[in-house]
Structure 1
C-alpha cells in the first residue's frame, strides 16, 4: 500500500514501496489526487506495465532539444545539423514548455494541423515537407530519449499520428531557350568557377554541396571519376564523368589563380581567420536567375535535369542511382514517365519481323 504524508506546505506526498519495483513518489495539491495516483500506479505494477514517469515529467521539450542538438545533431552531416537547429527553434517556440510526458499524440496532431494551416512570410502555406521534417526531428528525439537516455515514457507519441504527405516532387526542366540563356550568362560572369560549377552539376547530377566541397585529390581525370567520401545520405560513391565534365574539371584543376596550398577545386576568398572556404556562388546565381526571369528555377533543379537526361539516355534505375546517390529506388519514380516516352520512340524503331497488315472486317 502507498503511504500518504501531508507536507509542511499543506500538500500531500504519496510514496509507493512495492517489492520488485523501485520506490516512487509524487506530491499533489489534494489528498484525493495523491490517492488516485497511488491507486493507478500500484495497478500498473500489478499488471506489469508500470513506467517510472518522473524523469519525463520533469524534462521539458526545450531542455530535451538542447541536449539532442548538443549530443545527436553533431553526429550528422553539417547541413543537417544546421537545419535541425532551425527546426528546433520552431518546435521550442510552440511546444518547448511542455514536458515530454505531456506531449500526447493528440497535442502533436493539433500542432501539425496548426502548422499546415499557417502562412509563410511569402504568403504561401507552410509546406508539407517542412512540417514532415519538424515531426521527424521530434520523433527521433523521442526515440533517443526512450532508447538511449532511458527517459520514462510508455511509447513514442509520434508513432500514432499521421504524417503529412510529401507532395509531388519538383519536375522543373530547362527549355532549350532557357538553357542557352543560362549557359551564356554563367559563362560570362567574371569568375569562371560559376560556369564550371553549373556545367558540372548538369553533367554529373552532383548536389551543390558535393561540388563546392570537392578537394583536388577527389577528382581522378585519368579514370574520369570523382570520388565522394561523404554525401547527403551518408554513403560514399564514385561519380563517372562524361568527356565534357572531364574537360571542365581539367580547367578547374589548372586554374591559374589557385593559391598555393589550396586544395579546394572551387575556392573562395579568405575569411577573417585567413582560411579559404568553398566558393560561395549562391548570391550571384540568384542575381542571374532574376535577371533572366528564371525565379522558379533552383540550382538543385540542375540535379533533376541531369538525372532526367541520364534516364532519357537509356540508363537503368540501378545505374542512375549509382551515379546520383539515391538510396531508394522509390526516389527515382518521378523519372519513370521520361523512360516511358523514350520507350515509345524505341518501339517505333524496333526491327519489324513481319509485314502483317490489319484490315477492318
Structure 2
C-alpha cells in the first residue's frame, strides 16, 4: 500500500515501496493528487509495466538540447548548421520545462509562433531536431517512459522551394521605358560575371565557376582533396557526401580549366616553398571554410549590385529590379542542375548531383520558356 503523509502546511508526500522496484516518492499540493499518483505507480508495478519517469521529470529541455549537442550533433556532417537550430530552441521559454511536462499542445503553440516569422521549411527543420532529441532521450538516455510530443503535432507544408535561375545578362530600360539590352557593357554582363568581378576573395571566383559547372554542394567543394582530382579523366571523386554515399562527378572543360589553373599555381608555389613548410591541409583544393564561402559570396553579390546600379545610372538606364538580388550560393547548384537536366537523362543526372530519389530533381528542373519554345519550333 502507498504511504501518504503531510509535509508542512501545504504539501503532501506520496511514497510507493514494492519489492523488485526502487522506492518512489513525490510531493504534491493536495492529498488527492498524491493518492492518484501513488495508485497509478502501484498499478503499473503490479502489472509489470512501470518505467521510471524521474529522469524525464528532472531533465529540462534546455539540458537535453545541450546534451544532444555534445553527444549527438557534434558527430553529424551538418553540425555547424544544426548548432544554430539548437541555439534557437534553447532560447524559447519551453526549454525551461522538464521533458516529461512538455505536451503536443505546447509544441503546436511554439510551431505557430515560429511560423509568424519564418518559412515552413525553417520551422520543419527545427521541429525535426526537437523530435530527434525526444527520441534519443527515450531510446538512449534511459527515459523509456517519455513520449515524443512532436510526433503528434501537425507539420507545416513547405512551400518555399527556390526556382531562382542565374541571369546571363540583364535588360535595362531607358527613361522612356524602352528595352535597352545592349546600351552599355555593364548591362550585358551576366550575374556571375559581375559577382566574380566584385569578389574580394582570391578563391571565390574559382569556387563559383566550379559550383555552376559541376552542381557540387558548397561543403563538397571546400572539402575537395587534390588526391581525388583526376584531370586526365575529367573526374573528381567525392568519398563523403551529404547523403552518406560516395560519387564521381564529371568535369566540363571549363571546370577542368579552373582546377588546372589552381593546380599550376599550387605547383608553382611549391617550388618556392621549403620542404616541410606545408601544413596538414595542403592536400585540400580550397583552404577555406564553408561559412566563409557564404559570407564572401554575399558580400560579392552586394558589391556587384551596387556597381550595377551605378553603371545604369551613369548610362541613364533603369536597373532591373531582380538582377543581382535574392541570389544565394546554393542557387549555383540549382542553376547547374537545371542546365545539366537539358543534357542528361534523369537516371544519369542522379549520379552527377547525388540525389537518391529522382523525383527530388524536379524541384531543380525549371527550363526557360524561350528554351522550350525553341524545341517546339
Per the TM superposition, whether the score is higher than 0.5 is yes
Shift of 1:233: 2.5
Equivalent position SS for 1:92: helix
Aligned residue for 1:108? 107
Verify the 8 A CA contact 1:13 1:25 in the aligned structure 2: yes
| 8 Å contact kept, 1:225–1:240 | yes
Name 1:323's counterpart in structure 2. Answer: 352
User: Secondary structure of 2:244's match?
Assistant: coil
Would you say 1:224 and 2:253 are equivalent positions? Answer: no
Helix, strand or coil for the counterpart of 2:328? coil
The counterpart of 1:147, out of the listed 117, 139, 143, is 139
Match of 2:176 in 1: none
Q: Give RMSD over aligned pairs.
A: 3.1
Q: 1:104-130 deviations in whole A, cap 9, x for unaligned?
A: 11110011011112xxxxxxx311122
Is 1:300 the counterpart of 2:333 in the alignment? no
Q: Which has the higher contact order (CA 8 A, sep 6+)?
A: 2
CA distance 1:51–1:134, change in 2 (3 Å): same
Which of 233, 241, 245 is residue 251 of structure 2 equivalent to? Answer: 241
> Residues 213 and 278 of structure 1 are in contact (CA less than 8 Å); yes or no, is this contact kept in structure 2?
no
- C-alpha distance in 1, partners of 2:146/2:233? 55
Partner residue in 2 for 1:181: 190
SS at match of 1:198: helix
1:264 and 2:284 matched: yes
Checking the alignment, whether the CA contact within 8 Å between 2:337 and 2:353 is kept in structure 1 is yes
Structure 1 residue aligned with 2:14: 14
Structure 1 length-normalised TM: 0.81
Aligned residue for 1:267, secondary structure, equals coil
Distance 1:294 1:344, change over 3 A: closer
The Cα offsets for residues 148-182 of structure 1, whole Å up to 9 and x where unpaired, read as 11114342111111111121410111232159433
- 1:243-277 per-residue CA deviation (whole Å, 9 max, x = no partner) reads 221121111111267464333323369xxxxxxx9
**Equivalents in 2 of 1:254, 1:2: separation in Å?**
81
TM-score (norm 2): 0.78
1:181–1:43 Cα change, 3 Å:
same
Q: Which moved more, 1:247-256 or 1:52-61?
A: 247-256
1:311 corresponds to which of 336, 341, 350: 341
Unaligned runs of 5+ in 2: 171-187, 309-322
Aligned to 1:290: 305
Deviation at residue 87 of structure 1 after TM alignment: 1.6
Q: Post-superposition shift, 1:10? A: 6.7
Unaligned runs of at least 5 residues, structure 1: 118-124, 270-276, 350-361
The aligned runs of 1:1-361 (5 Å cut-off) are 1-7=1-7, 11-19=11-19, 21-46=21-46, 49-77=49-77, 80-94=78-92, 95-117=94-116, 125-178=117-170, 180-188=189-197, 193-255=203-265, 258=269, 260=273, 261=278, 262-267=282-287, 281-282=296-297, 284-291=299-306, 292=308, 293-313=323-343, 315-336=344-365, 338=367
CA distance in 2, matches of 1:91, 1:165: 20
Supply the distance in 2 between the matched residues of 1:68 and 1:197 (Cα, whole angstroms): 34
Describe the superposition over 1:127-156 as per-residue Cα deviations: whole angstroms up to 9, x where unpaired: 112211111110000110011111143421
- 3-state DSSP class of the match of 2:165? coil
Distance 2:7 2:269 in 1: 74
CA distance in 1, matches of 2:373, 2:47: 64
Q: CA deviation at 1:200?
A: 1.0
Change beyond 3 A, Cα 1:26–1:205: same
How far apart, in 2, do the equivalents of 1:307 and 1:126 lie?
27
Answer whether contact 1:3 1:15 (CA < 8 A) is retained: yes
8 Å CA contact 1:173, 1:301 repeated in 2: yes
Paired residue total: 331
| SS at structure 1 position matched to 2:363 | helix
Q: What is residue 274 of structure 1 aligned with on the other side? A: none
Which whole-Å CA distance do the structure 2 matches of 1:174 and 1:242 have between them? 18
Moved more, 20-29 or 216-225: 20-29
